[in-house]
Amino acid sequence: MTDQAEHGSRTAFTAFTWGHAALTAEFATDPAGTPRMTRLAPAGTTAPPPPPGAPLPLVEITALGHGAGWSGQRFTDTAPGSRLRYRSHTAERDGAWHRLRIDLHDPGSGLSAEVRLSSPDGVSVLRGEVLLRNDGARPLVVQSVSSLLIGALPSPDVLDVHEARNDWLAECRWHREPLRASVPGINRGAHEHDSRACHFLAGQGSWPSAGHLPMGALTERLGRGGAGDGYRNGDRHAPGDRCGAGGANGHGGGHEAGNGVGGGTGRAWLWQIESPAGWRWDTGERAGAAYLALNGPTDAEHQWRERLAPGEEFTTVPAALALGASLDDAFAQLTAYRRALRRPHPDHTALPVVFNDYMNTLMGDPTTERLLPLIDAAAEAGAEYFCIDSGWYDDDTRGWWDSVGAWLPSARRFPDGGIEAVLAHIRARGMVPGLWLEPEVVGVRSPVAATLPDGAFFTRDGVRITEHGRHQLDLRHPAARAHLDTTVDRIVGEWGVGYLKLDYNITVSPGPQGPEDTSPGGGLLGHARAYLDWLSAVLDRHPALVVENCASGGMRMDGASLAVAQLQSTSDQQDPLYYPPIAASAPTAVPPEQGAVWAYPQPEFSAAETSFTLGAALLGRVHLSGHLDRMTPDRLRLVQDALATYKAIRHDLRVAVPCWPLGLPGWTDPWVALGLRAGGTTYVSVWRRGGPSDRTLPLPHLAGREVRAEILHPSAQHGTARWRADRAELAVALPSAPACVLVRLTTADG
């Protein structure tokens, strides 16, 4: 670090630099004395100075009585943000993390802000959050506060903006468009001001990833070429380098990813907002350069406000920005960051196969009679965990949806020895037993709805909120937390369950507003944080427990939840033909070893259909289902072979980073591909759902190297895969559709 004032002093500074071997950030004050980040780039790279006026303040804030300096939809140019003055900064090393704190103060409002920046060593990802404290004499109501601001990016003329549409049964659908489609040029010189336009997204309600993932990206078009409108196979302008840049350990790249206009290098800026509730990002133009503003919930989008009495504090949700030489490289960096951020757990290295009885199988109707043969068949196939999904508590003749909450086993469904006898049989077959649980909801007909106080539930205007026949627990209330602690300690501590699938099938928007809440959005964020705190405490008490995070599939696929849970449900999609684009795109949102992908072969499937269905999960976490107990020996053998393949390669999955040889898939693409790179080994899953019978996959990171290609799945080969060394391409032929192959490419020097 270098600066022109004593480190940690409270005197004005001119500039300082902070970072590590993979990342450099530079800071300087503007003429008014407001500190700004003037450059962010991989260490060792160069860039021209930013255009005057392009860098943003370190924090943007709106508050009642202290609004924006320029009206519009953008969350920049706020009055408090421009008044924040530097007081001090400190840097430290905390294990693998580099941390920087910059203290700011606004004399106009009395508000202080501690900007907290951090980055894992060797990874070009910057994480930001802000601690606000009211050091004034009067209460202050905050309406928005940024988590991370980046200005002085290249001109919108050369940038594409990327967003990920994320709907129930259709998760992780990435889309791109030129930034200029949302932010037109207006001749700034003629108007003497920047455009008010911006491209923005916001997530709402208690499903933080419903509608869109809390993510986005900007990429610089290669050679200033034209931009497409999606990620279609064969589109030579599709983003990503087709597995061509960045190290397989997540550290890599080498092109400039910093500030300044120009280039056409393909570099990328990829972000995630780690909010379990509301979030918003916007990008637009400032002084001829692009900017990026990452926020948690806001008043405008989420009815979020935070009232700070004198001396009170609030900390924003974190946001992270990955820098890459390409979009694939940025995803590699973000994958390494996610691994560094998350809670340590043995599951992240063991990667056991999970059988779940729900999908296309028992569908929420388990009984001892139905489960015992499934348990035996799952064990024979090679499953290591067996999870009994929904319905195990259902003794209600009117249905369980609006009566759940007590989480006691059904005597009718488990007549001989109860559910504990079934759990014992799972253990006897060498597997760890699991149960489905939807902890936050209480059905309106549940006895729990009458025994817990109103304060234990979401309320608004004094009325308990009801959504789809359910009430929502508020985990900030001690009675709600005690109820769930008793439930989990009984299931895990007394029954010996080692796996919990925690589902969440309602969404509440904008949130609760209890007596202590300033706003509904504030109440929702408070509950969401309390829920993750509760879950962390559960894992502290039961460290061997494995938790799957689910919300109607992938509706809670956010960075905050992924940092605590061990697995993430990627979808509820029941049609195997629709799963390939979800499975291939899931590593954009979750590391491969955490992404649970369904594989539900059925007795009536052909051998090709069975292999296709199983193949979707082999580069993620296998979530096996299907009526294995009804399969012929030859069909069951196909399942056994697929699981044996998975077990042989899973040691690589826990360290691999993703890439997309055909670009990120479109929803209806006939050919879909996902690559994982681990040292000298590259795995590629290729799906054909239609179209021509052959396809070539560019893999330029293997150019000039001796490569061996082998098909790992299916064991009974239904196609061919040949390495073309002269073109650094994998040529795949699949004569029939649907079909899937998993190919391993090994280098002689790997």
- The domain limits of the chain are 2-341, 353-439+478-504+544-654, 659-747
Q: What is the structure's pLDDT at 269?
A: 98
- Alpha carbon distance 332, 561 (integer Å): 20
Pairing type for strands 499-502 and 470-472 reads unpaired
How far from the centroid of its chain's Cα atoms is residue 166's Cα? 11
Give ∠ CA 650-690-695 in degrees, rounded to 5.
65
Q: How far is CA 98 from the centre of its chain?
A: 22
pLDDT of residue 650: 98
Nearest to 18 by CA among 49, 48, 39, 32: 39
The Cα 129–Cα 126 span in angstroms is 10
Q: For 91-137, how does the pLDDT look when each residue is reduced to its tens digit (9 = 90+)?
A: 999 999 999 999 999 998 999 999 999 999 999 999 999 999 999 99
Q: What CATH number matches the domain at 2-341, 2.40.128.690, 3.30.479.10, 2.70.98.60, 3.40.718.10?
A: 2.70.98.60
Residue 264 has a pLDDT of 62
Q: How confident is the model at residue 308 (pLDDT cuts 50, 70, 90)?
A: very high
CATH of domain 659-747: 2.60.40.1170
Could you write out the DSSP letters of every residue in 143-161? EEEEEEEEEEEPPGGGEEE
Exposed/middle/buried for 235, CB within 10 Å: 0-12, 13-18, 19+?
Answer: middle
The tens digit of pLDDT for each residue in 415-464 reads: 999 999 999 999 999 999 999 999 999 999 999 999 999 999 999 999 99
* pLDDT for residue 222: 86
- Residue 249 pLDDT greater than 50, yes or no: no
Check pLDDT > 50 for residue 294: yes
| Residue whose C-alpha is closest to residue 154's, from 69, 211, 202, 221 | 221
* Summary mean pLDDT of the chain: 92
CA distance 170 to 415: 39
Can you say how many angstroms the Cα of residue 670 is from the centroid of all Cα atoms in its chain? Answer: 26
Q: Is the pLDDT assigned to residue 274 strictly greater than 80? A: yes
Whole-number pLDDT of residue 13: 62
6 has pLDDT over 50: no
pLDDT at 237: 34
- Residue listed under structure tokens 């035996």: 376
**Above 90 in pLDDT, residue 257?**
no
Question: What pLDDT is stored for residue 476 in this prediction?
Answer: 98
pLDDT value, residue 583: 98
Give domain 353-439+478-504+544-654's CATH architecture: Alpha-Beta Barrel (3.20)
pLDDT score of 242: 63
Confidence (pLDDT) at 12: 55
- For the chain, the farthest-separated pair of C-alpha atoms sits apart, in whole angstroms, at 82
- CB–CB of 82/67 below 8 Å? no
Percent of the chain clearing pLDDT 90 (strictly above): 85
* Interatomic CA distance for residues 43 and 22, integer angstroms: 5
Is the confidence at residue 2, as pLDDT, over 60? no
The predicted model gives 311-315 an average pLDDT of 98
DSSP notation for 688-716: E-SS-SEEEEE-GGGTTS-EEEEEEE-SS
Higher-confidence residue of 341 and 252: namely 341
Contacts with 524 (C-beta within 8 Å, 6 or more apart), sequence order: 205, 206, 277, 278, 297, 302, 304, 508, 509, 510, 511, 512
pLDDT digit string, tens, across residues 8-39: 444 456 799 999 999 999 999 988 889 999 99
Phi and psi, residue 161, nearest 5°: -110, 140
Residue in 569, 419, 439, 566 with CA at minimum distance from that of residue 496: 419
pLDDT at 47: 78
Regarding beta strands 170-178 and 159-167, do their DSSP bridges make them parallel or antiparallel, or are they unpaired?
A: antiparallel
**pLDDT for residue 240 is more than 50:** no
> In the prediction, which pLDDT does 20 show?
98
How confident is the model at residue 347, as a pLDDT?
98
Segment among 71-80, 346-355, 429-438, 694-703 with least mean pLDDT = 71-80
Label residue 238 by pLDDT band (50, 70, 90): very low
Q: State how far the alpha carbon of 42 is from the alpha carbons of 24, 565, 581, in Å.
A: 6, 30, 31
Whether residue 188 is predicted with pLDDT greater than 90 in this model: the reply is no
Structure confidence at residue 750 (pLDDT)? 61
Instruction: Of 118, 96, 126, 76, give the one whose Cα is nearest residue 271.
Output: 126
Residue that is written with structure tokens 């820098």 in the block: 323
- Averaged pLDDT, 452-478: 98
Q: Is the pLDDT of residue 330 over 70?
A: yes
Q: In angstroms, rounded to a whole number, what is the distance separating the alpha carbons of residues 668 and 109?
A: 53
Which amino acid appears at position 203 of this protein?
G
Mean predicted confidence (pLDDT) in 143-166: 97
The answer to which of 43-52, 243-252, 427-436, 559-568 has the lowest mean pLDDT is 243-252
Using alpha carbons, select from 179, 263, 189 the residue that is nearest to residue 218.
179
How confident is the model over 43-90, as pLDDT tens digits? 888 878 888 889 999 999 999 998 776 777 888 889 999 999 999 999
Per-residue b/e over 156-193, b at no fewer than 16 CB within 10 Å? bbbbbbbbbebbbebbbbbbbbbbbebbeeeeeeeeee
Prediction pTM value: 0.95
3-state SS class at 638: helix
